[in-house]
Amino acid sequence: MKDYYYFLGIKSNASDEEIKKAYRKLSLKYHPDKNPDDDFFSDRFREIQEAYEMLNDAEKRRIYDENLAHLQRSYRPTMPPSIRTFSANKIRAKKGEEVIINWHTNNADVVKILPFGLEKGYGERTFRITEFKDGKFQLLLHATNTLLNKTVVQGITITEIFDGDREQFKNDMEEIFKPQKPTRTNPGGQSRGMRIVLAILFFVIAILILVKTFSNN
């Protein structure tokens, strides 16, 4: 069940005026006309409208509050929350490239993934990164047990790459693992030894790049 109070960033006992004020503020911030071709803003705007339509109607809000309270009473895990998995199909991506994330939490009655918002306890989401900050895009999974008032957080950092970066990395790896042809004139001489040294050097550089990438993640 969706938490409309969370969508509007207000408390469950918010007044009608507070609901309208929150709706006006968020509508201006996330309106699709100000952020064209951005699925995140259009999805967020729909959530805000849906929440306002429910909470602005007194009778709809009364029924919603009753159902929400019943759900919270019926599902209140007593074990600490945990994150079983939280992964992305890639940790290096270009702007506009499609990324898929998967997650699975345990003993959490409130789960949210920033910057997207509330989610189910487990699932999959496909999105495109429209903007990086200092070459990074940060995802944070929050799993909360409201009964115990405990939250666990896990993050994924996706690093921005450009066409040249990916092509250069591919060429380096091909060069490292390319079969070496023996030379007739000097099969055991300096030319072959230099190629071996360069291959080892490229391999070490590739390992360092991978280690740095995973350590950032």
The answer to whether residues 170 and 211 belong to one domain is yes
Q: Which of 13, 46, 74 is the last residue of a domain?
A: 74
For 99-119, write each residue's pLDDT tens digit.
Answer: 999 999 999 988 999 998 888
> How confident is the model at residue 209, as a pLDDT?
73
- For the chain, what percent of residues have pLDDT higher than 90? 42
State the total domains in the chain: 3
For range 181-188, the mean pLDDT: 50
The answer to whether residues 124 and 153 belong to one domain is yes
pLDDT of residue 15: 93
Residues 43 and 95 in one domain: no
Measured from the Cβ of residue 172, the count of other Cβ atoms closer than 10 Å reads 15
State pLDDT tens for residues 128-172. Answer: 998 999 999 999 999 998 878 899 999 999 999 987 655 555 555
Range of the domain at 36: 4-74
pLDDT at 189 over 50: no
CATH of the domain at 42: 1.10.287.110
Last residue of a domain, one of 23, 43, 74: 74
Burial class (CB in 10 A: 0-12, 13-18, 19+), 33: exposed
Look up the CATH number of the domain holding residue 144. Answer: 2.60.40.1930
Tell whether 135 and 181 lie within a shared domain: no
Residues 6+ apart with CB under 8 A from 1: 67, 68, 71
Domain boundary residue among 144, 160, 176?
Answer: 160
Q: How many CB atoms lie within 10 A of CB 19?
A: 20
